[in-house]
Amino acid sequence: MVINSDFDRDESSISFGYALGNHWALFGGYRTSETNFDETVTIAESINGRKLSGSGKRNTAFKQDGFFIGGAFAVSFREHAIITLNAALAALDGKYNSLGDIEVVVTDSNNEVLSSGKSPVGVNFDGDTVGLNLGAAWKGRIAERLSYTLGVNGYSYDFDAKEKDVADLSESVFRFSAGLSYQF
């Protein structure tokens, strides 16, 4: 089986924060994301002397939205550097919707059609997502107007379906970042 998939991801969030002293900050907000997959499925397999062939299309949408809360800690290191650590926890509602159809033909070893048909494929379920975001950054100054940033961050979101016979989903991202800025 071969699955070709095009996907599109939209993500947005809004957050508000409050500084607690010189080193700590708390923040919270709302996050929404949607991932859409447009898939083409091609089947060409042999099972027990029978050939199975077919094709179909499936459209899948996975939406999550909800609230998050987190905190950040920043401390100066030496005279021209700052280390920042942050963490956030999210509680999101999720909806998974997948619709499509597949046409399958089963033939014997002499290529005689044993069966054929078009079957709808559809799965819809809701669930809850728990997400954890962690990050660290080092910001420093090379010269009076030239600064750099090095960072590492990542997140993991685990979706648990309310239905018992549905597979759970997870999404994880781990990123390194580097930046250079000049103040005019």
**DSSP per-residue letters across 9-45:** EEEEEEEEEEEETTTEEEEEEEEEEEEEEEEEEEEEE
145 in any annotated domain: no
Residue 104, pLDDT > 90, answer no
Question: What is the structure's pLDDT at 162?
Answer: 87
Half-sphere exposure at residue 72, Cβ-oriented, CA atoms within 13 angstroms? 17
120 or 25, higher pLDDT: 25
Highest mean pLDDT: which range of 30-44, 60-74, 100-114, 158-172: 60-74
Residue 29: name the closest of 18, 37, 19, 39 by CA.
18
pLDDT digits (tens, 9 = 90+) for 131-159: 999 999 999 998 889 999 999 999 999 99
62 in any annotated domain: yes
Question: What is the structure's pLDDT at 36?
Answer: 94
Residue 54, pLDDT > 90, answer no
**Cα radius of gyration rounded to whole Å, the chain:** 25
159 in any annotated domain: no
167 in any annotated domain: no
Domain count, the chain: 1
Question: What is the structure's pLDDT at 118?
Answer: 84
Which residues make Cβ contacts (< 8 Å) with residue 116, sequence separation at least 6? 103, 104, 105, 106
Share of the chain above pLDDT 70, in %: 100
Residue 167, pLDDT > 80, answer no
162 in any annotated domain: no
Query: Given its phi and psi angles, is residue 119 left (phi above 0), alpha (psi -120 to 50 degrees) or beta?
Result: beta
What pTM, to 2 d.p., does this model score? 0.74
Structure-token match 């499936």, residue found: 58
42 or 151, higher pLDDT: 151
pLDDT digits (tens, 9 = 90+) for 55-79: 889 899 999 999 999 999 999 987 7
The secondary structure of residue 107, as a DSSP letter, is: E
Give the domain range for residue 107. 2-136
Question: What is the structure's pLDDT at 117?
Answer: 84
75 in any annotated domain: yes
Residue 160: name the closest of 120, 121, 126 by CA.
126
Strands (E), the chain: 2-20, 24-47, 50-77, 81-107, 113-141, 146-161, 169-182
Residue 174, pLDDT > 90, answer yes
Question: What is the structure's pLDDT at 111?
Answer: 79
Residue 16, pLDDT > 80, answer yes
147 in any annotated domain: no
161 in any annotated domain: no
